[in-house]
């Protein structure tokens, strides 16, 4: 499976680790650490050395309760970092945004993937993405970041998320964004309880096939998320083991991209999971006693 991503063509037959670079003051895990451009670039280059195949730059926090950021402020945060990274590395750079103007500015600065938690539903976003040659990651989210964790409800979370992703794929195709530029993200932790997250992770293969015989690549992002507080009782700084367990399971289920904070450890987990997958590991095979 290949992803057309601006000037890059990414081979996703081997899972790719996407390193998270939040240039925000209020992200839940690393807010304020990388506001300075030089520190942000240094951290990104470190993640690349550790094996990241893509860096995802975000200038607005999407944690529950996060405050809105203006287009101008978001552009001011992300564009200098993207420009500096494009000058220092040849790997693809992703922009984590929902705003049309930010998408356009980031791609003009060198970003080659648009990672949108709102799946191009904000005014002008679909048209802005279609005017570029960047790849697009469409994510499912119930509600908005400020309120998404206030009583999220589903009758059939897997079916509803799949139907949403199918609708957004159809909208992209109609706008001229080809299938070879699309990635899907079930949105773990975005308007979902623990049981919803677990159901989606358990049914990942179903989510990558919205109306097509051949699947689209899936991105999974669970790094340091609050599901591990609920499941394990662990604070943010103690959630690595849980994240690696999910990363391994996701790769075995066919995930193509893992969006993470802890790159080196995830790269190791992915190598093991990929080796198992290549050897024919089948998580659903019955165990004979």
Candidate list 192, 225, 239, 277, residue with the active-site label: 225
* Cα angle: 239, vertex 243, 245; to 5 degrees: 120
Candidate list 63, 239, 259, 277, residue with the active-site label: 259
Is 225 labeled as catalytic in the residue annotation? Answer: yes
Bridge partners for 184 per DSSP: 138, 218
Is 284 labeled as catalytic in the residue annotation? Answer: no
Tell me the catalytic residues: 225, 259
């Amino acid at each position: 499976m290949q992803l057309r991503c601006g000037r890059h063509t990414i081979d996703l037959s081997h899972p790719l680790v996407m390193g998270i670079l939040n240039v925000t003051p209020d992200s839940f895990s690393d807010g304020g650490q990388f506001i300075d451009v030089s520190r942000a670039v240094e951290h990104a280059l470190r993640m690349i050395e550790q094996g990241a195949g893509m860096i995802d730059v975000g200038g607005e926090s999407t944690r529950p309760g996060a405050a809105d950021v203006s287009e101008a402020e978001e552009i001011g945060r992300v564009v200098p970092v993207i420009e500096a990274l494009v000058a220092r590395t040849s790997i693809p750079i992703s922009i984590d945004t929902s705003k049309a103007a930010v998408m356009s500015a980031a791609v003009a600065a060198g970003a080659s993937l648009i990672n949108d938690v709102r799946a191009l539903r904000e005014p002008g976003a679909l048209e802005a993405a279609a005017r570029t040659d960047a790849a697009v990651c469409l994510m499912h989210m119930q509600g908005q970041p400020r309120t998404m964790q206030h009583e999220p409800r589903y009758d059939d979370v897997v079916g509803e998320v799949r139907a949403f992703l199918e609708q957004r794929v159809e909208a992209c195709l109609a706008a001229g964004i080809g299938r070879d530029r699309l990635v899907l993200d079930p949105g773990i932790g975005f308007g979902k309880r623990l049981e919803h997250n677990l159901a989606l992770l358990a049914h990942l293969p179903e989510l990558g096939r919205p109306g097509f015989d051949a699947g689209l690549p899936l991105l999974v992002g669970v790094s340091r998320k609050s599901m591990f507080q609920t499941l394990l009782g662990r604070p943010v700084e103690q959630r690595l083991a849980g994240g690696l367990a999910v990363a391994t399971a996701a790769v075995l289920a066919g995930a193509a991209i893992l969006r993470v904070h802890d790159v080196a450890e995830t790269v190791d987990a992915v190598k093991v999971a990929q080796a198992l997958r290549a050897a024919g590991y089948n998580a659903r095979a019955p165990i004979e006693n």
